[in-house]
Amino acid sequence: MPNQSPGDVIRGLLWINLVAGFILYITYYRQLEGAFEIIRNITPPLIFLAGMILAFSRDRSVIRRRRTQGEETETIVISYRDAMLHDAVSFLTAMAIVVVPQLATNGGLNLIDIIQAGLAFLALSYLRTFYFGKIYR
C-alpha cells in the first residue's frame, strides 16, 4: 500500500464511485428520476464551462511561459482571405443554429433559436472587428 502513486489512488476511488453509483442506480432508479433530469439539463453548460476553463488556463500558461522567456509580443499576418473566411464561418454558424433544431425536430422556427443565432453572429462580428479591424483602416 505505501508504494502506490497518487494516480493509482485516484483511479481506485473513481472505480469505487462507479460501482457505488451503479448500485444506487439499480436500487433507487424510480427515486432518482428527478436527479437524472437535473443532470441531463446541466450537462451542456458544464461542458461549455469546462471548455472555457481549459482554454483560459492554457492561454494563461502560454502567456506566463512567454513572459519568462521575454517574448510577450507575437506578430500575426492576416490577409483579406482570412477576413472573408471568418465572415463565411460567422454567417454559417448563425444559419446552423437556426436550421439544425428545425431538422432535428419537426417544429417551427423558435424565438430562442433566432436570439441564439443573433447573439452568435454578434459575438463573431465583434471578434472580426477586434482581430481584423486593422486590415480595413
For the residues of 29-90, what is the DSSP string, one character each? TTTTHHHHHHHHHHHHHHHHHHHHHHHHHHHHHHHHHHHHHT---------HHHHHHHHHHH
Residue 98 neighbours by CB under 8 Å, 6+ apart: 109, 113, 114, 117
- In this prediction, residue 103 carries a pLDDT of 79
Sequence ranges of the domains in the chain: 77-137
- In this prediction, residue 5 carries a pLDDT of 79
- In this prediction, residue 8 carries a pLDDT of 83
Tell me the C-alpha distance between 84 and 65, whole Å: 33
C-alpha cell at 68: 519568462
Q: What is the pLDDT along the chain (137 residues), one digit of tens a residue?
A: 567 777 788 888 889 999 998 888 888 878 877 877 888 888 888 888 888 888 777 777 777 777 788 776 666 777 778 878 888 988 998 898 888 888 777 777 778 888 888 898 888 888 888 777 655 54
Tell me the C-alpha distance between 33 and 62, whole Å: 43
Give the predicted TM-score (pTM) of the model: 0.46
State the burial class of residue 5 (Cβ atoms within 10 Å of its Cβ: 0-12, 13-18, 19+): exposed
Residue 95 neighbours by CB under 8 Å, 6+ apart: 117
- In this prediction, residue 114 carries a pLDDT of 87
Amino acid at 137: R
Tell me the C-alpha distance between 123 and 104, whole Å: 25
